[in-house]
Amino acid sequence: MQNTIQVIGLKKSYRDLHVLKGVDLEVARGSIFALLGSNGAGKTTVVKILTTLLQQDSGTATVNGFDVVLQPSQVRQSISLTGQFAAVDDILTGRENIVMIARLRHIKHPHQVADDLLRRLGLTAAANRRAATYSGGMRRRLDIAMSLVGESPVIFLDEPTTGLDPEARIEVWNIIKELAASGTTVFLTTQYLEEAEQLANQIAILHEAGLS
Ligand SMILES: Nc1ncnc2c1ncn2[C@@H]1O[C@H](COP(=O)(O)OP(=O)(O)OP(=O)(O)O)[C@@H](O)[C@H]1O
Ligand SMILES: [Mg+2]
């Protein structure tokens, strides 16, 4: 069976800083993959390449069977991304944030989709409050809810639990486990070995970027 994500010999430098020096990885369908690394190790760089936001210098990467460089629009249709920094709009309520994304993605019945996701992520009670009033854990859950609009087969989560308290972290872990159990392939990054061990079927470690 073909892997959902396949990366071979990925290299990326920013001028003299060699961030990725030949990364190989494979992620099976419906599994959770954790990319572990400290600040500056290159986690976001890998996520950006796999989500077509940045082009590698060499090597190949396919996501859902599509090449990230040659078939970027097919890749984008296969994925959703929760970036390292929340995409939540503070002025809008939780529900309005999700409805907005559903409309942008031309999803039918945006209000129904929003209510379903708010329930799944435990945000129903806070649905009509402005996101500005949410706690860190609530914002993160809203951010994840927004990236679940449209039910993509592959989801990328860049440090989904950084800055969360232990309780909120466990809530996010449960959401991630449910996603994988329902067949979604999850690619996440983390700075915490414990988190990778708790969640992932497979772990890869990125070491710090080096100058030459
Ligand atoms: N656009 C850029 N131009 C120059 N250097 C960059 C650029 N983006 C990232 N870098 C550098 O590349 C290295 C890897 O960055 P990256 O954001 O991928 O790390 P990370 O593992 O996601 O770190 P963090 O845990 O802090 O999010 C860092 O040293 C960073 O400063
Ligand atoms: Mg990062």
Domains of the chain, first to last: 5-211 (3.40.50.300)
> Which residue has a Cα nearest atom 7 of ligand 1?
14
Residue 77 phi, psi dihedral angles, 5° rounding = -70, -15
Q: Which of 36, 38, 45, 55 to mutate to test the pocket of ligand 1 (most atoms within 8 A of CB)?
A: 45
Mean pLDDT of the chain: 93
CA distances from 207 to 34, 116, 158, 176, 199 (A): 14, 39, 17, 25, 20
Ligand 1 in reach of 45 Cβ (< 6 A): yes
Mean pLDDT of 29-58: 96
CA of 46 to the centre of ligand 2 (A): 9
Ligand 1 in reach of 47 Cβ (< 6 A): no
Ligand nearest to the CA of 54: 1
Mean pLDDT of 76-94: 91
Ligand nearest to the CA of 48: 1
Percent share of the chain, pLDDT over 90: 80
**How many Å apart are CA 207 and CA 118, to the nearest integer?**
37
- Has residue 212 got a pLDDT over 70? no
